[in-house]
């Protein structure tokens, strides 16, 4: 049997100044909202006032967020296991908050659908590109870690999960949903929850950015793997936005697909630029990176 080394009772202790530990502290401070505390009574009334087209628009968006949150809740564990196996205690401590938050996001959208009285099957809103990402690519990249915990496999999983699904798709989706709800002044419960989600997701994406920077620093050839994977996924974001906006039609809420597309492409470019900064950095610099530098809200 392998002899284990304890961290907390050694001179190492806990890396209290490290980025993942600071993120863990932040999650405990600001990530404790409870979906059950949100009042959806106004949302319920607003829902009934919408016409059928508007209801369909909202349902399409919510069904994609709901299933997306379910998928990331179910698919995260192999990454936690890989991190724990390497004895990266502070990262695992942060990941406990990460998984807890994804579970709350899943609960949140179910509560929204319940408030609308929607009990039917919404999977017909899941377009071909959506299915490709959430039914195939994401579970494939994450479950690979059950048997392959190489730096390439971990980087591949994090690119798909943190950079693409969270950093491009969710960030774009939540940004536009938030703007639309704010502008139209409807559904205060949904708006409140999406505000929390945006902040939670910024920590998740922040962790993924740290993880990929660490991997690139420890294994420089990983950078090319990461960039190739990002390049491969980019067109799927474009396809997904086109499909979800019914090929260029402006939604009945006035959402413009062109704007979503520009935003998503900008997100992709920002993520790639932040990762490129890891090249040539010392590992200590990556561990001491600030939350604001990585865009954590
Ligand atoms: Fe989430
Ligand atoms: Fe997330």
C-alpha 201 to ligand 2 mean position (Å): 5
C-alpha 205 to ligand 2 mean position (Å): 7
d(CA 192, CA 41): 13
C-alpha 148 to ligand 2 mean position (Å): 23
C-alpha 66 to ligand 1 mean position (Å): 9
Over range 246-271, report the average pLDDT: 70
Q: Of the bound ligands, which one is closest to the alpha carbon of residue 203?
A: 2
Give the tens place of pLDDT for each residue, 157-182: 999 999 999 999 998 889 888 888 89
d(CA 91, CA 211): 9
C-alpha 230 to ligand 2 mean position (Å): 18
Q: Of the bound ligands, which one is closest to the alpha carbon of residue 65?
A: 1
Give the tens place of pLDDT for each residue, 130-145: 999 999 999 999 999 9
Give the tens place of pLDDT for each residue, 187-246: 999 999 999 999 999 999 999 999 999 999 999 999 999 999 999 999 999 899 888 765
Note the pLDDT of residue 246. Answer: 53
C-alpha 176 to ligand 1 mean position (Å): 16
d(CA 267, CA 261): 10
C-alpha 49 to ligand 2 mean position (Å): 31
Note the pLDDT of residue 105. Answer: 98
When pLDDT is cut at 50, 70 and 90, the band that residue 252 belongs to is low
Q: For the chain, what is the mean pLDDT? A: 92
C-alpha 2 to ligand 1 mean position (Å): 36
When pLDDT is cut at 50, 70 and 90, the band that residue 254 belongs to is low
C-alpha 83 to ligand 1 mean position (Å): 20
Q: Of the bound ligands, which one is closest to the alpha carbon of residue 173?
A: 1
Global confidence as pTM: 0.94
Note the pLDDT of residue 255. Answer: 59
Give the tens place of pLDDT for each residue, 14-33: 999 999 999 999 999 998 99
C-alpha 107 to ligand 2 mean position (Å): 13
When pLDDT is cut at 50, 70 and 90, the band that residue 1 belongs to is low
C-alpha 14 to ligand 2 mean position (Å): 25
Note the pLDDT of residue 296. Answer: 87
The domain 38-281: what is its CATH number? Answer: 1.10.620.20
d(CA 199, CA 296): 8
Give the tens place of pLDDT for each residue, 45-70: 999 999 998 899 899 999 999 999 99
Q: Of the bound ligands, which one is closest to the alpha carbon of residue 102?
A: 1
């Amino acid at each position: 049997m392998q002899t284990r080394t304890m961290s907390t009772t050694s001179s190492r202790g806990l890396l209290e100044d490290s980025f993942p530990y600071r993120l863990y502290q932040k999650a405990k401070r600001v990530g404790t909202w409870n979906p059950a505390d949100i009042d959806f009574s106004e949302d319920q009334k607003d829902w009934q006032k919408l016409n059928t087209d508007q209801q369909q628009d909202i349902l399409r968006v919510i069904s994609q967020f709901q299933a997306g949150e379910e998928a990331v809740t179910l698919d995260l564990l192999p990454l936690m296991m890989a991190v724990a196996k390497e004895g990266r205690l502070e990262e695992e401590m942060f990941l406990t908050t990460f998984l807890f938050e994804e579970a709350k996001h899943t609960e949140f959208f179910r509560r929204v659908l319940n408030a609308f009285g929607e009990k039917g099957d919404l999977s017909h809103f899941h377009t071909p590109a959506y299915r490709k990402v959430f039914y195939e690519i994401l579970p494939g990249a994450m479950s690979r870690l059950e048997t392959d915990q190489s730096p390439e496999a971990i980087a591949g999983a994090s690119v798909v999960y943190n950079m693409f699904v969270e950093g491009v798709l969710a960030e774009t989706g939540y940004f536009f949903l938030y703007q639309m709800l704010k502008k139209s002044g409807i559904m205060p419960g949904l708006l409140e929850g999406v505000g929390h989600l945006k902040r939670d997701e910024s920590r998740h994406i922040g962790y993924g950015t740290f993880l990929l920077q660490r991997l690139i620093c420890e294994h420089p050839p990983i950078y090319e793997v990461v960039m190739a994977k990002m390049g491969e996924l980019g067109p799927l974001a474009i396809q997904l936005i086109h499909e979800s906006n019914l090929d260029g039609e402006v939604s009945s809420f006035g959402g413009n697909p062109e704007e979503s597309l520009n935003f998503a492409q900008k997100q992709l470019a920002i993520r790639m630029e932040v990762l490129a900064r890891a090249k040539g950095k010392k590992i200590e610099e990556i561990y001491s990176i600030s939350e604001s530098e990585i865009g954590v809200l």
